[in-house]
Amino acid sequence: MFDAMLQRFVHMFEIVAAEGHGSLWMVLFIGFVFGAIIQWSRVDKFEKIAGFAMLEDMTVPKMLFFAIGFASIFLYFLIEIGMAHYHVKPVMLGGLVIGAVLFGIAMAIFGKCPGTGPISVAEGRIDVLVGAIGGIFGGLFFTWAYPWLEPIMGPDYGELTLPQFFEGQEHLVVLVYGLALIAVAFALPNIEYLDPEDHEEKVEI
């Protein structure tokens, strides 16, 4: 059993290595830029995620809607000219629903997501480090238990993308979709959650 699990891990890394994500320097550069943007926008802070979960802080959704809308447009056209490529995962309804519920609960409790967590670890946050270690072991458990979990992952609808449903109008659909998300980002109210300490600091000022 251990040998079979080890082979799955090795195969997983072989798949990732063969995808050709660019040079190591390019990956590092993108990582540094991503980290800088996250820290500048402060969405790696617990109060931002917690405030979002309570609908008392719109910083995270505004950033997400804008980033997804902007990236959707430009990534699609980069793919069209051959400078990028998709790696679409299959739509497995059971796994998506269960995973979304677990992810949402954990994100609300932990106050971090897989993108902001490593940045907080780099800042020296011990609580986030403990959570990151837990996430690694959770991934190991999922990989080990996948043969037993697979039956509840379906139904599998295959690798679906939005433009597939609008054959002949793909460019227009992507453009409208991206601009709509950007519009939502600007339409969301500029409200920011402040914890009790922040309130006290503002009163003193």
Is 48 inside a domain boundary?
yes
Q: Domain range for residue 164?
A: 2-190
Whole-model pTM over 0.85: no
pLDDT tens for 27-54 read 778 888 888 888 887 787 877 887 887 8
Is 196 inside a domain boundary?
no
Strand partners, 156: 92
pLDDT tens for 61-101 read 898 899 899 989 988 888 888 877 777 888 899 989 998 99
pLDDT tens for 106-124 read 887 777 877 788 888 888 8
The answer to whether the beta carbons of residues 132 and 117 sit under 8 Å apart is: yes
Question: Can you say whether the dihedral through the CA atoms of 67, 72, 75, 77 is positive or negative?
Answer: negative
Asked whether the predicted pLDDT for residue 9 surpasses 50, the reply is: yes
Total number of domains constituting the chain: 1
pLDDT tens for 75-85 read 888 888 887 77
| Ranges of H-type helices in the chain | 2-17, 24-41, 46-53, 59-80, 93-110, 117-122, 126-149, 170-187, 196-204
Is 91 inside a domain boundary?
yes
Is 200 inside a domain boundary?
no
CA 53 from chain center: how many Å? 16
Is 185 inside a domain boundary?
yes
Is 195 inside a domain boundary?
no
